[in-house]
Structure formats: structure tokens, C-alpha cells
Structure 1
Amino acid sequence: MLALAERLQQVGRPFSKLLLSDTLTVLALMVGQVALPWWIVQQGGAADLAQYAIVTGLSACIAMPLLSPLGDRYPKNRLIMAGLLVMSLAAVLTTLLSAYGHYQLMLIMLAGVMQMIALAIITPAINSISTELVAAEHLSTAMGLQKSAQSLGRLLGPALAGISLAITSIPWTLALHGVLLLVAAQQAMRIPALAVEAQHGYSLLRWRIDLWAGLRASWQIPLERYWTLTNFASWIFLGPAIGMLVPIKVHAMGLSGTWLASCEAALSAGMLLGAFGATDRLASHFSRFHLRVGAGVSQGLALALAGLAQEAWLLLPAFFLCGLANSVLILSGMTHRMLARPQAFRGRMSAVAIMSGQIAGSIGPALAGLALTHYAVSMVYMSFGLIGAAIATSLALVPGFKHFMALGHDEVSDWYGRHHPAAFTSATLGNPTADSRSA
């Protein structure tokens, strides 16, 4: 507890308020992620779940780049709160449908699209607000704490959903999802944020310039481009293995919704362990480069093990290892990548990376749905895990990646701006408030 107290003191009270809101947000999302797919699988089967995943994924990949400039133009705390309120409305819709026994896939997808639009506003703001609240020398600590908070939400969310499904019903669990989102929105109101220029009178022309600037900068920097493309290719296969294939696998094994919640909880427990010390301990023995590549491969292999599992208990260690690898993967590279981006572009460039994942997240379910029409879920699951692991190794081939990961935090600060100024200079013409300095 002393170490945790010291880390919280380093990042300050404003960031601690963000951690509370972030934990509640992830907790709410995980409750919904267990209850809603389970309802869809029971009522409509794998085909409906694949269709839901495709539609929501496509809506996210469209909304993410279109809304990403907002995070660099408006106070991020207000954006987070507004997005959470929209998500709460979507939760009310699914709760009412379930409570009255009206399984309407179109309306469920509408609610899903609303949530994806809200996430497109929330996610870039959450990912980059830490650079405003915390000094650069403590940013690595802050991101570790944020990952821990999110992992705690991921751990408690499935457990809470499992208990709710066991003693109540799907409608009550969906209602719990909505209530938690409202509480998270209330907590988001307490997050401070730095003032942002041009909060009023943000024209359509300025928005188009900002949007293009973020996309252009992300593409013109080779390291950022290939990093994004590698993640995109691997997530086509890893995304369904962590998402839509889990309830299908559990249902095919004849297990209850409690087992689905247990799998999600095991995944979250692994993430929590990775955020609370395991990553730091591994970093003392291995370089960031080897950690990042090795974790990507380990994640895919763990998912392949989940696909092969024929006994229910084997699912739990497989998802635990997957969560641990995912946490190490993110924490071993996220701080470097965020610091390398200029301050004025962090929201937009984060959104581009997230958008690529969302596009992969809509291709993956379609590919998985097609594969399931020809092969058993175990075979599809195992294959997706192995392919994802193989693609993860390609990050080692990205030019300059190994050297970049070996740099210290001071050296990597504003690295993109210093080594690729042309990617930002012309993009910020006509914007006197643009600042390419690192926090």
C-alpha cells in the first residue's frame, strides 16, 4: 500500500480523480460486455452476434477519425462526461428491450452504434488527458496506474455481471450496466482539465484541417505507420478471439453465463497482475523491445490454447495468460508512443491508431463468422490465435522500432516532432495555437 500511496502522490490528485472515473467506466463496460453478447447468443446465435460485431465495429471506425479532433479542441473532461451520458442512454434502450422480451437485433445494433460513437469521443480523450494532468517524468507511472485501474474494472466487472446473472436476470444486469455508466459520468465531472484554445467557434473548415492533419501525420511517420499496420493485421484475428468468439465457445461447450463471466474475470486478473508489478519485474530482465514482441506472440498462443480447450477449467488459465500478455504488451510500448507524439496531436494520432483497430475489429468478426460456417469454433479459435501470434512477430521488422524502444523517456519525448517535423509543420499552417512540444 505504501508503494501505491507514493505512486498516487507522484501523479497528483487530479489524475487520481481520473483513475476513479476510468475504473467505473471499464467496470460498467465489462458488465455490459458479458450481459449483452450472452443475450444475443441465446436469442439469435452466432450469426446475430457476428452481425452485431461487424456493424458496431464499422460505426466505430467511421466515428473515431471524424470525432478525434474534438479531443484536441475541447476540454477532455467534458468530452468524457458527454460520451458517458450517451452510453447511458444506449444502455437504457437495451435494458427496456430485454425487460419487455423484445429481441430486436436492429434496435440492439442501434444502441451499439450509439455506444461506439460515444467511445469515439471518450477513448482519445482518456488516452491523452494524462499528458495534461501529469508531468512527463511521472507519465510512465501514471499510465501504469491507469492500466491498473482499467484492469481492476475489467476484473470486477465480469465478476459483478456473473453474480447478477446468477441471482437476477439479463434485464437486471443490463440495468446495472446503465447505472454504473451514470455514476462514471458523475465522477467524470470532477476531473480537471487544462483550458483548450478555440473552444468556441470551431468551424467546419478548422475541423477538416485538424482531421486531415492527424491522419497525415500518422501516415507520414514510418515508425508510427508500420506500428499501426502491424497492430491492425494482428487485431483482425486477436480481436474476435478476445471478443465475439468467447461467448460462442462457452455456449458451444454447454456452459452457463457464469463461465463467460469467469473467463472475462480471468482475462482481467491477468491484466491486473501485468499492471501491478509483473511488467516492471519483466522489464528488469528484458528490454522493452523483447517484451513488446514476446508479449504479442504470447497473447496469440494463449488464445490458441483457449480454442483447443475441451475442459472448462482450461479456459481460465488460458485467458489469464492472455490478459497478462496483453498488459505487458501495452505497458511496454504505450508510454514511448504517447510521448513521441507532439502534444497538439496526441488526441488525433491516438484516434487514428484506435480507428485502425476498430476497422480490424469489424473485419475480424466477419471473417470469423464466415469461418464458423465451415469449421467448428475450436478450430477457428485456435487458428485465429496462432495467426495473431505469427503476425505479432512482424513488429520486430519495423524499421527503427528496436532503436526507438531502447531510448529513455527524456530522449523519446517529442521524438516524432524532432525527427519528422515536416509531418506536422505544413499540417499546422494557419493554426497559431498549435504546439508541437511534448508535455
Structure 2
Amino acid sequence: MQQSLGNWRQRVDSLGLPFRALLISEVLNLLALMVGAVAVPWWIAGQGGAHDLAAYGFTVSALLFFVMPALAPLGDRRPKRGLIVAGLLLYALAAALLASLASLGHYHLGWVLATALVSALAAGLVAPAILNIAGEMVSAERLPEALSLQRSAQSLGRVLGPALGGLALSASTGLALWLQCGLLLSAALLARRLPGGMPPRTGHGEERGLKAWRHDLQAGLRVCWTMPLERGWTLVNFVSVLFMVPAFTMLVPLKVQSLGLSGAWLGAAETGLSLGMLLGALGGSAWVAARIGRYATRISATAAQGLGLALAGATEQGPLLVAALFFVGLANSCGVLVGQTQRMLAIPAHFRARLSAAGMMTLNIAAAAGPALAGLALLHLPVSQVYLLFGLMAAISALGFVLVPDFRTLMSLDHEAAKGWYARRHPELFGAAAGAEVASNLSKSSA
């Protein structure tokens, strides 16, 4: 174990101090978000019930649907450090407002939804920048390792966050939410150490203001829906997310409450999920992919994730619920890491934030519709049956990857061949800047 930890630290140090700051900031950020993921749904479910919880989930996702693509072009034109810091501060503001309401014992769905708007604006700034900043901080050769370490840091935050949140929640909801606020402020301070350079030029440097923003937004959406691989990948993810988001979020506290368990069990369930993700990020994903290939890993992991969620819905025992969610987290990390690495390598650098956000926009429709669909189902079925059904549908969605054009081809490429593959496959969609980038990469590789 000591040797493994030493090796992990050596890998982090080799990527430089700014990348270390990114990882620590990610841990604190995910700690905060997971504390909130335990405290906020528990507070809403206890004060407003399943109806308010479904309304909150729908509102958050609906807001993200508009905010993500609207703010995404900033990630390809503005320094990502400033976007991340600003977003984390907005997150802290939303947490402080919720903490004040909870501490005063004043629950009102309208105020809770107002904080959802602030959080959505924060996510629109942070998410595309965080998702793609590693590509600007390390070389292409080290990008897979950097993404694995970043995922590990996120998973570590997810592991510790629910336990910390459950512990704070056992004292009071207000304490848990004030803790979330403090963690977010600490993450923002660390994010100031990230490199502040401008992202790669888009090839439209003469454009400024609204015209540049509109051009970038349209370009990202055009690629997302014109390119067969991106369109198919997004549609399969849409169906999967439609059923997985409620099973990851609102159904967990409702399931815990239906079993008559305390808030500490909710923390344990979230911790189990996060431990599985951490195990996948620390080597589980690479181990599976090395044995069955990236293509099979992506499909089988998605199917296994859904089956694990179905088991979580069917069980009537707290320990088995925690174990099922651990398995779900492991499967999720294996599938996501394999797909994310190949996709980031394949996308030209100047398109990463826009294309990521365009995909997120579609997934946010599913993330908004999922809780609404779960809320309707809960009017007719008990939470265990709804949970089981949603898990099975998420598992079936994995079969859609078989039908996605070029998906098997991309997953079968090694990392060197995957670099800039989107631009080589569809040069008409990515412009002159992408062609120059691909040519540069190829010349470096041949040299």
C-alpha cells in the first residue's frame, strides 16, 4: 500500500505543481458537492417530500440545459482558471444561502430553486473548463495519465464527501451546508494557482463579443449533431442518463427512508458508490480494458452499472444497498474513463469545451426528464419497484452503443492514433485550425 501511494505521488509530482493544485482543488470541490448531495436531498425529502425533490431535480437539469451551451464558448476563448474560480465562488454563494435557510429553519421550495439557478450558472462556468483543462496542462502523451489522476482525485472527494456529509448531517443540516460552503471557498483559493494562459485559438480570432460567442456555440452544436459518431454517442447517453440520474440522486434518499434507515445510511450509500468509482479510477478501468478491450469495456460497464442499480432497488437490506452502489460506482468509472480519454484525444483542442457542453446540453434534457419521469412513476409504484425498473432500463441502454457509427473504430485505436481523429475523419466540420493541429501532431509523431 505504501509503495502504491508513493507511486501515485510520484506520478502527480511529475506533472508539475499547477496540476497538483488542480487535483487538490478537485478533491475539495467534490468533497463539497458530495456533502451537498447528501444534505440537500435529505433536507428537501424531509421537508417537502418526493414531489419537491422531483421538482428540484427537474429544475436543476432544465437550467443546466440552457446554461451549459450558453456559457461553453467562454471555455474556448477565456482562461479556464478564471472561469473555474468564478464558478466555485458562485457555488459557495448558493451553499451559503441554503445553509442560512436551513440554520434558520426556513424551508421554502422557491428559495431552494433560486439557489439551483446560481448553482447552474456555476456549473456552466466550471464543468466545461474542468473537463478540458488537463489537455492544456500536459502533453498529449501524458493526457491519459492526467485524466486518470484527475478522475482519482474526483473519486477521492466522492468517497470522503458522503461520509463527511453524513457525519455533519447527524448534527444538523445547517452545519453540513456551511461545511460545503467552506470547502468550496478553499477549492476556489487553490484554483487560483492554475495556469492562466489563454486556450488554443479557434481560427476565428478576428471575431469578438456576441458574434464570436454565437459562432462558437453554433459550431459546437453543428458538430454534435452532424457527425454520426457524436450524434449516436449522445443519443445512447441520453437514454442511459434518463434512467441513471434519478437512480444516482433522488431515488437513493427515498430508498433509504423507505427502509426506515437514518441519514448516516445515506452517507454510507453515497460512500459505497464513490469507493467503487475510486477503485475504477486507480486502475480498475485500465485493468478491465487491457483484458477485454475499450469497446467491450464501455458497453459491458454500462450494462453492469444498470444491473447494479436494479439490485439497489430490489434489496431490503442496508448493507446490500451499499454493496450494490459500490459495484455501480466501479462500473461507472470503468465505462466513463475509457470513453472520456478516447474522446478527448480525438477532439481538436480548440473544440473541446464547446463540444463537451453541446453534449452536456442534450444530457441535461435527460437529467431533467429523468426525475420528472421518476416522480410520475412514484405516484403509482413504490420506490423499490421504480428503482428496479430504472436500473433495468439503464442496463438495456448499453446495447445502443453497438449501433453507433465509428464507435468501435474509435475505441479500438491506441492513444497515439486517437489524437485528432475527429478532424481526420471529418475535416469539413472542424476548420483550418483543426487541420493545422492534426498536421502538427502527425509531424511530431513521425519525428
Give the whole-Å Cα distance in 2 for the aligned partners of 1:3 and 1:379: 45
2:348 counterpart residue number: 342
Determine whether 1:364 maps to 2:370: yes
Amino acid in structure 2 at the alignment position of 1:222 = P
Q: Give the superposition deviation at 1:16.
A: 1.5
Relative to structure 1, the CA distance from residue 10 to residue 275 in structure 2 (aligned partners, 3 Å threshold; closer, same or farther) is same
Determine whether 1:100 maps to 2:107: no
Determine whether 1:411 maps to 2:422: no
Query: What are the ranges of 5 or more consecutive residues in structure 1 without an aligned counterpart?
Result: none
Amino acid in structure 2 at the alignment position of 1:158 = P
Determine whether 1:115 maps to 2:95: no
Q: Give the superposition deviation at 1:393.
A: 1.7
The range that moved more, 135-144 or 184-193, is: 184-193
Aligned length in residues: 433
Give the whole-Å Cα distance in 1 for the aligned partners of 2:304 and 2:38: 24
Determine whether 1:317 maps to 2:320: no
2:173 counterpart residue number: 170
Give the whole-Å Cα distance in 2 for the aligned partners of 1:42 and 1:361: 22
Amino acid in structure 1 at the alignment position of 2:370 = G
Amino acid in structure 1 at the alignment position of 2:44 = I
Determine whether 1:194 maps to 2:197: yes
Relative to structure 1, the CA distance from residue 108 to residue 422 in structure 2 (aligned partners, 3 Å threshold; closer, same or farther) is same
Give the whole-Å Cα distance in 1 for the aligned partners of 2:176 and 2:414: 45
The range that moved more, 219-228 or 153-162, is: 219-228
Determine whether 1:138 maps to 2:147: no
Confirm or deny: 8 A CA contact 1:244 1:365 kept in the other structure. Answer: yes
Give the whole-Å Cα distance in 1 for the aligned partners of 2:196 and 2:289: 32
SS state at 2:371 partner: helix
Task: Provide TM-score, normalisation by structure 2.
Answer: 0.94
2:445 counterpart residue number: none
Amino acid in structure 1 at the alignment position of 2:192 = M
Of the candidates 376, 386, 405, which is equivalent to residue 392 of structure 2? 386
Give the whole-Å Cα distance in 1 for the aligned partners of 2:56 and 2:424: 43
Amino acid in structure 1 at the alignment position of 2:172 = S
Confirm or deny: 8 A CA contact 1:30 1:153 kept in the other structure. Answer: yes
Confirm or deny: 8 A CA contact 2:84 2:191 kept in the other structure. Answer: yes
Give the whole-Å Cα distance in 2 for the aligned partners of 1:345 and 1:259: 42
Confirm or deny: 8 A CA contact 1:344 1:436 kept in the other structure. Answer: no
Deviations 1:306-325 (A, max 9, x none): 00011111101100000000
SS state at 1:285 partner: helix
Confirm or deny: 8 A CA contact 1:79 1:121 kept in the other structure. Answer: yes
Deviations 1:357-380 (A, max 9, x none): 211100000000000000111110
Q: Give the superposition deviation at 1:434.
A: 10
Give the whole-Å Cα distance in 1 for the aligned partners of 2:294 and 2:146: 18
Detail structure 1 runs of 4+ shifted over 3 Å in the superposition.
Answer: 196-202, 432-439
Deviations 1:153-203 (A, max 9, x none): 00000010111122x210111110111111111111111143246999941
Of the candidates 185, 201, 210, which is equivalent to residue 182 of structure 1? 185
Deviations 1:120-146 (A, max 9, x none): 110000011101001001100000000
Amino acid in structure 2 at the alignment position of 1:296 = T
Amino acid in structure 2 at the alignment position of 1:299 = Q
Amino acid in structure 2 at the alignment position of 1:263 = A
The range that moved more, 214-223 or 297-306, is: 214-223
Determine whether 1:241 maps to 2:247: yes
Instruction: After TM superposition, list the pairs within 5 Å mapping 1:273-288 onto structure 2.
Output: 273-288=279-294
Give the whole-Å Cα distance in 1 for the aligned partners of 2:436 and 2:125: 22
Give the whole-Å Cα distance in 2 for the aligned partners of 1:356 and 1:263: 28
Q: Give the superposition deviation at 1:333.
A: 1.3
Task: Provide TM-score, normalisation by structure 1.
Answer: 0.95
Confirm or deny: 8 A CA contact 1:68 1:348 kept in the other structure. Answer: yes
Of the candidates 404, 410, 429, which is equivalent to residue 398 of structure 1? 404
Confirm or deny: 8 A CA contact 2:427 2:435 kept in the other structure. Answer: no
Confirm or deny: 8 A CA contact 1:130 1:139 kept in the other structure. Answer: yes
Give the whole-Å Cα distance in 1 for the aligned partners of 2:418 and 2:71: 28
2:163 counterpart residue number: 159
Confirm or deny: 8 A CA contact 1:303 1:381 kept in the other structure. Answer: yes
Deviations 1:6-39 (A, max 9, x none): 3224433221211111111111000011001000
Amino acid in structure 1 at the alignment position of 2:275 = A
Instruction: After TM superposition, list the pairs within 5 Å mapping 1:18-33 onto structure 2.
Output: 18-33=22-37
Give the whole-Å Cα distance in 2 for the aligned partners of 1:286 and 1:3: 26
2:214 counterpart residue number: 208
Confirm or deny: 8 A CA contact 1:12 1:134 kept in the other structure. Answer: no
SS state at 2:280 partner: helix
Q: Give the superposition deviation at 1:260.
A: 0.6
Determine whether 1:267 maps to 2:270: no
Confirm or deny: 8 A CA contact 1:344 1:434 kept in the other structure. Answer: no
1:306 counterpart residue number: 312
1:352 counterpart residue number: 358
Give the whole-Å Cα distance in 2 for the aligned partners of 1:253 and 1:172: 25
Deviations 1:374-432 (A, max 9, x none): 0111110000000010011211221221121110111111111111011122xx7xxx8
Give the whole-Å Cα distance in 2 for the aligned partners of 1:9 and 1:199: 35
Of the candidates 83, 95, 101, which is equivalent to residue 79 of structure 1? 83
Confirm or deny: 8 A CA contact 1:291 1:329 kept in the other structure. Answer: yes
Amino acid in structure 1 at the alignment position of 2:387 = Y
Amino acid in structure 1 at the alignment position of 2:178 = A
